[in-house]
A and B are shown apart, each in its own frame.
Chain A
Amino acid sequence: MVYDLIVIGGGPAGYLAAERAGHAGLNTLLIEKRFLGGVCLNEGCIPSKTLLNSAKIYDYARHGEKYGVFAENVKFDHKAVIERKNKVVDTLVSGIKFALKKNKVTVVEGFGEINGKNSDGYEVKVGNDIYTAKYLLIATGSMPIIPPIPGAKEGLESGFVLTNREILDIESVPKSLVIVGGGVIGLEMASYFNSVGSKVTIIEMLDRIAGYTDKEISTILMKNYQKKGIEFKLNCKVTKIENGSVVYEENGQSYTVSADKVLMSIGRKPVIEGIGLEKIGVEIERNHIKVDRTGRTNIPGVYVAGDVNGYSMLAHTAYREAEVCINNIIGKKDIMRYNAIPSVIYTNPEVASVGETEETCQQKGIEYEVANITMKYSGRYVAENEGGDGICKVLVDKKFRKLIGVHMIGSYASEIIYGAGLMIETEMRVDDIKELVFPHPTVSEIIREGIFQL
């Protein structure tokens, strides 16, 4: 039997593509080697949010004095937290299974490898079985980068060094945790383990944390965490991992920091090896599959969505890319846009941004104006954040007077940012946004305040 579409990979890109394709009437096969839901659902976005929520409740319980709340004997049970996390993941994975079934998608468990092309379409091998489809969607995702540091590989084998996968199933809270890489994953895990009692050290090669987040905002975030006791080693390079300690270099000088566990979170790379791309000649660019804005590769009928295309490594980007691919496969014109994709760090306080930062504006030569205001313009923020120092930056393109970027650090930022994304996506101008009504009192009003400064 010849399928209309085979999807390789059951993460956010793969399962959503399969759902949409099935819904559109395509006879669809989905191949997943590990767990449906992929990294996002099983060992990324969702489990980490479960943990962070427990940590937040714990923090509130212990630090309620400034709000007039006193609690004693507050206990934290990490095991119970992990159990609950597993329950949450199970619930959501069954949800996906149900949705796939409902849309008549055939799911095959196993490792899918492209086998070649025959007169009916593309062949994909899973174990000893060969499946054929007219269209192919590659959504193999990404995996953690393990740098060639002496001791890293051995540490992973012995369980001393962890990635996002292992740390979310860790049985007890380590006394001390060294995190290599101060990106989103590193910061969120630092936030959790700091709250629940680990001594956390973050070693970062760059002069900043949180990657390309607005530098002023990442600095505020770092100061908040320094106050909570996390140590940051910026401009530092890990040179060796020994059992019980991590050796790093700062300005040519070597230092050692002891650790019960090490989290390796320096970044992720697309999974392009061993899946048979070379058998049909799919073009690779640097370390990812080359695609155009409709998800097409250089091979007709072969599409790509999610982390493996090297664009953004975010689940919500993958969702939309998957839909763009399916729309193009079923002949509906659609195109991927990357200029209004929000990104969020679920630390406490939360960081959220969308669009251009001042730095990217300068790089791209965009003439911009910026309103940089304190979150204290929001009544609700002041009411709920004793001593809060959040800010919001609103960037406007000078030429078109349209919103091009919003960056914020503060409570609910993660839930507010989509609104800013919508304004950017639809190219609303300053004057248009001034006509919008924001609910009061909410933290979201900060965007309105920023706009009126321009």
Chain B
Amino acid sequence: MATPVIMPRQGQSVESCIIAKWHKKKGDQVNVGDLLFTYETDKATFDEEAKVSGTLLEIFFEEGDDIPVLTTVCVIGNPGESYEEFNPNAAEEVKEEKTTSEQLQVQEKEEAEEIITTPSVMEESDRVKISPRAKNLAEKMGLDYRYAPKTGPGGRIIERDIHSLMENGPAVTYAAKDAYMKMEGTVIGTGIGGRITTADLYAESEAKGAAPTGVEGLSAAETPYEEVKLPNIRKVIAKAMHQSLSSTAQLTLNASFDATDILDFRKKLKANQQRLGIENITINDIILYAVSRTLINHKDLNAHFVDDSMRYFRDVHIGVAVDTPRGLMVPTIFNANKKSLNEISREAKVLIEECQKGTISPDFLKGASFTVTNLGTLDVESFTPVLNPPQTGILGVNTIVQRVKEVNGEYVYYPAMGLSLTFDHRALDGAPAARFLKELKTNLENFSILLVK
């Protein structure tokens, strides 16, 4: 029996996902566990595996399509089996047609003599994203909407594009049309009336300009760069980072602390790890623990700054920045202030691993009240972490360097670890932020005592 494969729901808040890549083609044989497709939410990337074996009978969506969760994406079954009943597009088309004819009927009443129905010129194989309103208008005007500019979200043709088509004519010549449709990026039209011609499609490679003799120029035959479309997660990161810097008043305080105590403590734990039956506690785990215990006394930094109010969190939910092959992800350790060092360490490990594999639930990629990001393992000595609004603070953890201090009239070396705290000056002032940093420093320098508290 043919089995539909649906777009899984990833967490309660996700309404739709984008197909990033198909790993199988229509007609391919698939076995249980085979990778079918990769899809993205606005925060993470996931892989969908086949749960039944058979032939991939039909694929209803293409790469790049944004699909509501629980919608049938493809059908697996035996060759020859009917699958049309599962086609979510079929239902949609019928619906659109209906709207069109309903609207036409309304118009017919109003301007009965002027209705000329023009047959649609669309070929069935063309999958053009167009809003029903735009489609209706195009068909009413007898326009081939495939020639229209696409200025709607996700390259969708919307009503204004049909108006533009009506006024300016097609932006591309007949011959250049097919190749243009498949192209990414913008092309400058040099044809009649500014239309894009077949020559324009290759204009990039004709880049002019001779290099001075004896100087190697760029090859005109190919672009000097490879243009790769941004994966969804990169777009999300880009947007979030820019929004953070443009919409907050963030600045960074740097401090360092004597890491002798936490280094000794970790050494002891490591030596006795098996005997105690505990996790491999890392320096980062220790810092997360210290932050969770310190933040609870500094409510301005354990908060969200939302428009004209502050949300002070009752517990500490720490976001942990994780570097993954797909890009930056920040899973949350909820209620960290109530968890033991061992629990924090275990949870952090699980979350980091799921991020790396791409199997993390989106529900864990939000909800943090404060973030910790660690570049110390990459030898960074100081940096300015970027806030994750509406959070009001983010702590950067740096590497350990040997420093000298005076103890009883003598110079002694000590391992100094850097901390870089970025905070939103809209939410709190410099002194309270510095006070948090100072208390954190004290707690880390006297970590054994903190544990006892």
Min CB gap A297→B, angstroms: 15
Q: Which of B175, B179, B190, B195 has most A Cβ within 10 Å?
A: B175
Q: Taking CB as reference atom, which chain A residue is nearest B198?
A: A400
User: For the complex, is B199 an interface residue (Cβ under 8 Å from A)?
Assistant: yes
Q: Which one of A333, A335, A339, A428 lies within 8 Å of B174 (CB-CB)?
A: A428
Chain A residues within an 8 Å CB radius of B195: 426-427
Residue-wise, chain B 185-220 has the 8 Å CB interface mask toward A (1 for contact) of 000001110110111000000000000000000000
Given A428-B174, A429-B174: A337 touches B198 (CB 8 Å cut-off): no
Interfacial chain A residues near B173, Cβ < 8 Å = 402, 426-428
Smallest Cβ-Cβ distance to B199: which chain A residue: A339
Separation of A402 and B194 alpha carbons in the complex (Å): 19
Task: Check: B428 CB closer than 8 A to any chain A CB.
Answer: no
The smallest beta-carbon distance between B419 and chain A, in angstroms, is 56
| Distance between B393 CB and nearest chain A CB, rounded to angstroms | 51
Query: Quick one: which of A293, A335, A402, A432 contacts B198, CB cutoff 8 A?
Result: A402
Q: Nearest B residue to A425 by beta-carbon distance?
A: B192
Q: Nearest Cβ in chain A — how far from B170, in angstroms?
A: 10
Query: Do residues B194 and A427 form an inter-chain contact, with CB atoms below 8 A?
Result: no
A316 at the interface (CB under 8 A from B): no
Q: Judge if A401 is at the interface, Cβ distance under 8 Å.
A: yes
Are B174's CB and A402's CB within 8 A?
yes
**8 Å CB contacts to B: which residues of A154-210?**
none
Residues of A within 8 A of B141 (CB): none
Report chain B residues within 8 Å CB of A425.
191-192
A333: B residues at CB distance < 8 A: 194
Interface residues of B in 143-175 (CB under 8 A from A): 173-175
B328 at the interface (CB under 8 A from A): no
CA distance A339 to B190 in the complex (A): 12
One of A335, A429, A432 near B190 (C-beta < 8 A): A335
Per-position binary interface string of chain A over residues 418-447, scored 1 when its CB falls under 8 Å from any chain B CB and 0 otherwise:
000000011111001000000000000000
Contacts A335-B190, A425-B192, A427-B191 given: A402-B175 contact, CB under 8 Å? Answer: yes
List of B residues within 8 angstroms of A428 by Cβ: 173-175
Q: Interface code A325-366, partner B: CB below 8 Å = 1, 0 otherwise?
A: 000000001010101000000000000000000000000000
Q: Which residues of A contact B128 (CB under 8 A)?
A: none
**Contacts A402-B175, A402-B198 known; A426 to B190 CB distance under 8 Å?**
no
- Inter-chain CA distance A397–B176, complex, in Å, is 12
Query: Are the C-beta atoms of B194 and A432 separated by less than 8 Å?
Result: no
> Are A427 and B190 interface neighbours, CB within 8 A?
no
Q: Is the pair B190, A400 in contact by a Cβ cutoff of 8 Å? A: no
Cβ distance A148 to chain B, nearest Cβ, rounded Å = 33
* Chain A residues, Cβ within 8 Å of B199: 339
Query: Once the chains are docked, how many angstroms separate the CA of A337 from the CA of B191?
Result: 8
Task: Kindly state the separation between the CA atoms of A279 and B333 in the bound complex, as whole angstroms.
Answer: 76
Q: Which residues of B contact A400 (CB under 8 A)?
A: 175-176, 179, 198
Q: Are A426 and B194 in contact (CB under 8 A)?
A: no
| B191 contacts across to A, CB distance below 8 A | 337, 425-427
Chain A residues near B176 (CB, 8 Å)?
Answer: 400, 427
Most buried by B among A335, A337, A400, A432: A400
Residues of A within 8 A of B179 (CB): 400
Question: Nearest Cβ distance between residue B171 and chain A, in whole angstroms?
Answer: 13
Q: A335–B174 Cα gap in the complex (Å)?
A: 20
What B residues does A432 contact at CB under 8 A? 174
Which of A333, A335, A402, A427 has the largest number of chain B CB atoms within 10 A? A427
Quick one: closest A residue to B189, CB to CB? A335
Contacts of A337 in B (CB 8 A): 190-192
Within the assembled complex, what's the spacing in Å between the Cα atoms of A339 and B175? Answer: 15
A404 and B174 CA atoms in complex are apart in Å by: 13
- Chain A residues whose CB sits within 8 angstroms of the CB of B197 once the complex forms: 427
Instruction: Give chain B residues whose Cβ lies under 8 Å from the Cβ of A339.
Output: 199
Contact bitstring A376-402, B, C-beta under 8 A = 1, else 0: 000000000000000000000100111
- For residue A12, give the distance in angstroms from its CB to the closest CB of chain B: 21
In the bound assembly, the distance between CA atoms of A293 and B203 in angstroms comes to 13
Instruction: Give the complex CA separation of A432 and B177 in angstroms.
Output: 13
Cβ-closest chain B residue relative to A293: B190
Closest to B179 in A: A400
Nearest B residue (CB) for A292: B208
Shortest distance between the CB of A426 and any CB in chain B (Å): 6
Q: Which of A125-158 touch B at CB < 8 Å?
A: none
User: Which has the most chain B C-beta neighbours within 10 Å: A426, A429, A432?
Assistant: A426
| Residues B192 and A426 in contact, CB atoms below 8 Å apart | yes
Please name all residues of chain A whose beta carbon is closer than 8 Å to the beta carbon of B194 when the two chains form the complex: 333
Docked CA distance A352–B195 (Å): 27
CA distance A104 to B42 in the complex (A): 63
B103 to chain A, nearest CB (A): 30
Chain B residues with Cβ under 8 A from A401's Cβ?
A: 175
Considering the chains assembled together, what is the distance between the CA atoms of A73 and B194 in angstroms?
Answer: 58
CB of A361, distance to nearest CB on chain B (Å): 14
Distance of A248 Cα from B194 Cα, bound (Å) = 51
B190 partner residues in chain A, CB cutoff 8 A: 293, 335, 337
Q: How far is the CB of A319 from chain B (nearest CB, A)?
A: 15
State the Cβ distance, A105 to closest chain B Cβ, in Å.
Answer: 28
Give residues of chain A (281-295) contacting chain B, Cβ–Cβ below 8 Å: 293
Query: How far, in Å, is B200 (CB) from chain A's closest CB?
Result: 10
- The complex places the Cα of A45 from the Cα of B199 at a distance, in Å, of 32
Closest to A402 in B: B175
Q: B198 contacts which chain A residues (CB < 8 A)?
A: 397, 400, 402, 427
- CB distance B175 to A429 under 8 Å? yes
The residue of chain A having its C-beta at the shortest distance from the C-beta of B208 within the complex is A292
Distance from B148 Cβ to chain A, minimum over Cβ atoms (Å):
18
- Distance in angstroms between the alpha carbons of A356 and B9 in the assembled complex: 57
Q: How far is the CA of A402 from the CA of B197 in the complex (A)?
A: 11
Return B250 CB to nearest CB of chain A, in Å: 43
CA distance A427 to B190 in the complex (A): 12
Nearest chain B CB to A356 CB, angstrom units: 12
Report Cα–Cα, A333/B176, bound state, in Å: 21
Give the distance in Å from the alpha carbon of A293 to the alpha carbon of B192 in the complex. Answer: 14
Interface string of A61-81 (1 = CB under 8 A from B): 000000000000000000000
Chain B residues positioned under 8 Å from A426 (CB to CB): 173-174, 191-192, 195
User: Quick one: which of B174, B179, B194, B198 has the most chain A CB within 10 A?
Assistant: B174
Bound-state Cα–Cα, A400 to B194, Å: 19
Q: How far is the CA of A339 from the CA of B197 in the complex (A)?
A: 11
Residues in chain A near residue B175, CB distance under 8 A: 397, 400-402, 427-429
In the complex, the chain A residue whose C-beta lies closest to that of B193 is A426
- Docked Cα-Cα span, A337 to B203, in Å, equals 14
How far, in angstroms, from A397 to B199 measured CA to CA in the complex? 12
A335 to B196, CA, bound (A): 13
Chain A residues whose CB sits within 8 angstroms of the CB of B174 once the complex forms: 402, 426-429, 432
How distant is the Cα of A293 from the Cα of B24 in the complex, in angstroms? 48
Q: Can you identify 23 A-B contacts, CB atoms within 8 angstroms? A: A335-B190, A337-B190, A337-B191, A337-B192, A400-B179, A402-B173, A402-B175, A425-B191, A425-B192, A426-B173, A426-B174, A426-B191, A426-B192, A427-B173, A427-B174, A427-B175, A427-B191, A427-B195, A428-B173, A428-B174, A429-B174, A429-B175, A432-B174
Which 5 pairs from chain A and chain B are nearest by CB?
A: A427-B173, A402-B175, A427-B175, A400-B175, A335-B190
| Contacts A426-B173, A427-B174, A428-B175 known; 8 new A-B pairs at CB < 8 A | A335-B190, A337-B191, A337-B192, A400-B175, A400-B179, A427-B176, A428-B174, A432-B174
By a beta-carbon cutoff of 8 Å, the part of chain A in contact with chain B is 293, 333, 335, 337, 339, 397, 400-402, 425-429, 432
